[in-house]
Structure 1
Amino acid sequence: MKNIRIVVVEDEAATARSLIQILHEADQHITVVKTLGAVSDAVTWFNDHPDSYDLIFMDIRLADGLSFDIFKQTTISRPVVFVTAFNDYAITAFKNNGIDYILKPFDPDEIKSALDKYKNWTGAAERPDGPALVELLAQLGNLTKSYKKSFLVHYRDKLIPLETAKIAWFYTANEVVYLRTIDDSQYIVESTMEQLEQQLDPTLFLRVSRQFILNRNAIIEAEFYFNGRLLVKVKPQPDEHIIISKAKSAEFKKWMNS
């Protein structure tokens, strides 16, 4: 049986390792030729290695942007299995275009199904690329733009709409999530931090720690801290320090530099 050369595009190292392990367990005739964690790195690699792979497993949200940006800067002519945390309406777009998806957290059976679908496609007259892929990207590109533009918060006996762009940061303590606006007002949000990560535009907001999601426009500076960590100063300044771990620092610097 022919060996399948796979490229994994995933910015979370632990997630990439988990996916690779499941791929190897699903089929012994698999070689992961490259793991890429950023749009810029992927564009460079695919430009330099147009024929070095057979199949791509690609996360939608990467450290420096959306994976759809890769297709705007290089030619991808091989089938793609997208990794997504989107809801059912986005999944429908995948299925209608004949390209598979994997919903996080990974289900080994779904990964095996994606591999089986690729094998069925191999040698077929109609490949899962070309116009079908372009159409899929156009659909999903539109879907990914629908981030929350405002939050409706309670204040005393009132409901107040707040523009998302005017929120400086989100903070969680004792299982309660708060937001602080740029003009230094604070409100409780009826969302979890995990839900907010999906609702917020990743070019504008980043979860820098378990407790904080920051708006890039609220960041004043970042100082080098102990053991490779970063101390971030924002406006308005919270009551406690915002410290980014060594593992998260690289993603933060890429995000701020994008």
Structure 2
Amino acid sequence: MNKLRVVIVEDEPVTARNLAHVLQNVDQNIDVTASLPDVKDAVEWFNDNPGAYDLVFMDIRLADGVSFDIFKQADVLKPVIFVTAYNDYAIQAFKNNGIDYILKPFDEAEIELALSKFKRLVVQRPKGDANQPFEQLLQHVKILAKPYKKSFLVHFRDKLIPVETVKIAWFYTAHEIVYAQTTDGQQYNIEFTMEQLEQQLEPDLFFRANRQFIINRKALTEVDFYFNGRLSLKMKPEPPEKILISKARVPEFKKWVDS
């Protein structure tokens, strides 16, 4: 029986070793072909080894960016099982070859279930489908990933009106109420939490600046340096308070703006 060639993309060495151990304990036919610690190494490896693997286990937040950046720079044509500590990337994961989404800390049973799903989808496909491209096999999985919201139905003067998502400059939460501010100066209450919004908004257009704000890149007018390595954002319309990017999130924010 041919070995199942698995690639691990994980920036925490202990987690990578633990995952490799669990995989080989679940299925002795698994060969961990490569363990890659960051976006840069992963891009190089996938570009240099296009046919040298069957399945990828991939963390999402890596030391030098998010793993979705890999798909922009390399052809990853095989299934991906995402293993992450964050639950807010599920939709994006299923749009990038994802067939499963496991939250850390993972256990052996979850890994075994994910491998079973992979085998049902790919390894044990009907003989007549042997040459079917993987992209076609994924179609029924991708329907699990709902499209990003294009509009919100909001209450306004005893009516319900649709508000286009692209026209929302920023979302803001205060006293457990979430508001949406439109580019034309209207403000509405939104019946979603900020965490729910993160899963429903197009990540190329919207960014979770901090606990209180999710911003639209089209409403960002200026970025100023602030104390202790933070950044201060200027938006149009102007928000009710200063929007700050923490020092730890500055690299992620810069990459988002510069993408």
TM-score, scaled to structure 1: 0.71
Separation in 2 of the partners of 1:85 and 1:237? 31
Are positions 1:237 and 2:242 aligned together?
no
Separation in 1 of the partners of 2:9 and 2:171? 31
The alignment's C-alpha RMSD in Å is: 4.3
Aligned to 1:55: 55
User: How far has the Cα of 1:102 moved from its partner?
Assistant: 2.5
SS at match of 1:112: helix
SS at match of 2:253: helix
Give CA deviations for 1:12-39 in whole Å, capped at 9, x if unaligned: x7xx7896476256246786611345xx
SS at match of 1:249: helix
With over 3 angstroms needed to count, the CA separation of the structure-2 counterparts of 1:85 and 1:224, relative to structure 1, is: same
User: How far has the Cα of 1:174 moved from its partner?
Assistant: 1.5
Equivalences for residues 77-226 of structure 1 within 5 A: 78-82=78-82, 85-86=90-91, 100-104=99-103, 107-108=106-107, 109-115=109-115, 131-137=132-138, 146-226=147-227
Residue 22 of structure 2, aligned match among 12, 21, 26: 26
Give the length in aligned residue pairs: 239
Amino acid at match of 1:101: D
Amino acid at match of 1:223: D
Separation in 2 of the partners of 1:131 and 1:225? 53
Separation in 2 of the partners of 1:226 and 1:129? 59
Separation in 1 of the partners of 2:158 and 2:106? 45
User: How far has the Cα of 1:213 moved from its partner?
Assistant: 0.6
Separation in 2 of the partners of 1:58 and 1:214? 27
Separation in 2 of the partners of 1:226 and 1:71? 34
TM-score, scaled to structure 2: 0.70
CA contact (8 A) 2:8 2:56 kept: yes
User: How far has the Cα of 1:120 moved from its partner?
Assistant: 9.9
SS at match of 1:202: coil
User: How far has the Cα of 1:147 moved from its partner?
Assistant: 1.6
Give CA deviations for 1:130-187 in whole Å, capped at 9, x if unaligned: 6342214556667757221111111231222111111000011121101111111111
Separation in 2 of the partners of 1:85 and 1:19? 20
Identity of aligned residues (%): 47
User: How far has the Cα of 1:43 moved from its partner?
Assistant: 4.0
Q: Structure 1: where are the runs of 5+ without partners? A: none
Q: Structure 2: where are the runs of 5+ without partners? A: 26-30, 84-88
CA contact (8 A) 1:64 1:255 kept: no
